[in-house]
Amino acid sequence: MTLTMTSDSSPSEQVILATGGYDHTIKLWQAHTGICQRTAQHTESQVNALDITPDKQHIAAAGYQHIRMYDLASNNPSPVVNYDGLSKNVTSVGFQEEGKWMYTGGEDLSARIWDLRSRALQCQRIFQVSAPVNCVCLHPNQSELVVGDQSGVIHLWDLKTDHNEQLIPEADASIQSIAMDPQGKLMAAVNNKGRCYIWSLSGGESQEPTKPKPSHKIEAHPKFALKCAFSPDSSLLVTTSADQSARIWETKDFTLQTELKQEGQRWVWDAAFSADSQYIVTASSDGVARLWNIEKGTVEREYSGHSKAITSLAFRDQIVNP
């Protein structure tokens, strides 16, 4: 992997690494040096989740009772768009691949879709559930949202038909994170017992809804699991935990490939793969983000500067051919 970032390149050409957490700031890093280039203020609350718009022009931060959008192309430390009026924590944020709409999940028992093409900042659709929402994941087909809640229910919401199905992998075990692989063939969910459930997926094309079939159950961590994500080439799955580790699993049989652990890093809250699936960035309670070489299981770079736990990160890089 070649990480390229120059000060005179436009955001759409840059490697973007952003971190946020309990110190009420969002930091943008020069990925290949570990230097913090910019700090944006997120004054009202901790940062629960981050995502970068598909055009790489803005970054969205989910916090307590709001979503804030920051301009990546300027040095403005303040948000340029504010979505207010929500109750409780917004726990999840992401974007439709063409940037037409944004989706969020929150402790107000809902997942929401926001129209980004209107200036009114309006919530277009609301999907109500019966427990606080911890995570929302968009199917690669862009027409199904998967919503995980604290009661242990996974909801598959078909945006075309408004139909929804429910999965309950383990009753009363809070779903902490859900991920789908880029090909739309696998789905993973981790819970607060440290377990990871895998489904193989069929359907999901044209008008046919996705059909999940239970595939694997992994005792991924001895403690609370926090995050799961598939690599861009679909060959790996990462799970992170309160047990102070991130673990990399091979998707061909879901055996453990590598454990990424560093003394003192404490809870590992979030993780994101590089575009070539050879590196991964993790965010930890010790206020440090780390870039790991997956094959070697070693830390290549550290990003230090947050005064409290880093609870979320967003990473967009590109494969650069020499």
Range with the lowest mean pLDDT among 77-81, 187-191, 275-279?
Answer: 77-81
Q: How far is CA 108 from the centre of its chain?
A: 19
Domains of the chain (ranges, CATH numbers): 95-305 (2.130.10.10)
Mark residue 100 as left, alpha or beta (left: phi above 0; alpha: psi -120 to 50; beta: remaining): alpha
Short-list 264, 315, 274, 311, CA closest to 295: 274
Distances (CA, A) of 97 to 113, 119, 142, 201: 14, 19, 7, 20
At 13 the pLDDT is 58
Q: How far apart are CA 114 and CA 84, in angstroms?
A: 12
HSE-CB for 92 with a 13 A CA cutoff: 31
Tell me the per-residue pLDDT of 214-253, one tens digit each, with 9 for 90 and over: 999 999 999 999 999 999 999 999 999 999 999 999 999 9
At 265 the pLDDT is 86
Q: 158 - beta bridge partners? A: 144
Task: Give yes or no for residue 2 having a pLDDT over 60.
Answer: no
- Across the range 56-73, mean pLDDT stands at 95
| pLDDT tier for residue 5 given thresholds of 50, 70 and 90 | very low
C-alpha distance across the termini of the chain, in Å: 10
Q: How high is the mean pLDDT of the chain?
A: 92
| pLDDT tier for residue 208 given thresholds of 50, 70 and 90 | confident
| Number of Cβ atoms within 10 Å of the Cβ of 139 | 20
Q: Is the pTM of this model over 0.85?
A: yes
Tell me the per-residue pLDDT of 142-170, one tens digit each, with 9 for 90 and over: 999 999 999 999 999 999 999 999 999 99
